[in-house]
Amino acid sequence: MNTLSYGLLALLARKRSSGYDLMLRIQPFWQAKHSQIYPLLSRMEEQQLLTAEWVKQTDKPDKKIYAITPLGEQRLHEWMQMPASEPVTRDELVLKAFCLWITDKDTALALFRKRSIFYQEQIHYFEQAIHKMPDESHQFGSQDFGLYILRQKALGTARSNMEWTTWVIDMLKNAAPPEMSSEPQHH
């Protein structure tokens, strides 16, 4: 039972779904490919945490619908009683920032401008996602309260990071040019 399995249990506790659907729904919160999810679901079925059932479809390929069992729900409750382990972030830009000093201004600007677009897209996505949520989701007790606060967290972090990139880009733009330019700088 790794963290991803609990994430799948958490999704299935809300509603029975196919592996494909779970794969799509877990993406914003925990990246995982279908090749990791399908075998995990099989193992969880063996362990009696889930039950599976084939559902025929006429418009689309048939699918296997998983549902959480009472044992699965019990495990989920036990997991919720344990403290959450510390978050881990892997960001290549962080390592690149570490050797900015061996690069020129334009290379640095390209890196941060690209990341800036990424954060801007995140802000836009989470803003509209929060906007579309009903007011009930703002209350503890609502099934979507967790989703609501997670989107608020993601939005806050994206905004903070966005401000950081614009701050860095401004510093880079106002930095002295490398050499041979006798042109005056306007800042």
Partner DNA sequence: AGTAGCATGTAATGGGTTACATGATTAC
Partner DNA sequence: GTAATCATGTAACCCATTACATGCTACT
Considering CB distances under 5 to 8 angstroms, the limit depending on partner class, which of DNA, its own copies, none binds residue 60?
A: DNA
121 binds, among DNA, its own copies, none (CB under 5 to 8 A by kind): none
Interacting positions 48-67 with its own copies (CB under 8 A) = none
Is the CB of 92 or the CB of 135 nearer to DNA?
92
Determine the 3-state secondary structure of 169 from DSSP.
helix
Residue 107: helix, strand or coil by DSSP? helix
Strand-pairing partners, residue 142, are 140
- Beta bridge mates, 51: 67
Nearer to DNA, 59 or 179 (CB): 59
Instruction: Mark 10-49 with x for binding to its own copies (rule: CB under 8 A) and - for no binding.
Output: xx-xx--------------xxx------------------
118 binds DNA (CB under 7 A): no
Distances (CA, A) of 138 to 68, 75, 145, 156: 26, 27, 6, 16
Q: Nearer Cβ to its own copies, position 61 or 178?
A: 178
Question: Which strands, in side-by-side order, build the sheet including 50-55?
Answer: 17-18, 63-68, 50-55
Which of 56, 131 has the CB closer to DNA? 56
Q: Is residue 50 within a helix (H) or strand (E), and if so which, with residue range?
A: strand 50-55
Terminal C-alpha separation, the chain: 56
Q: Which does 109 bind (CB under 5 to 8 A by kind): DNA, its own copies, none?
A: none
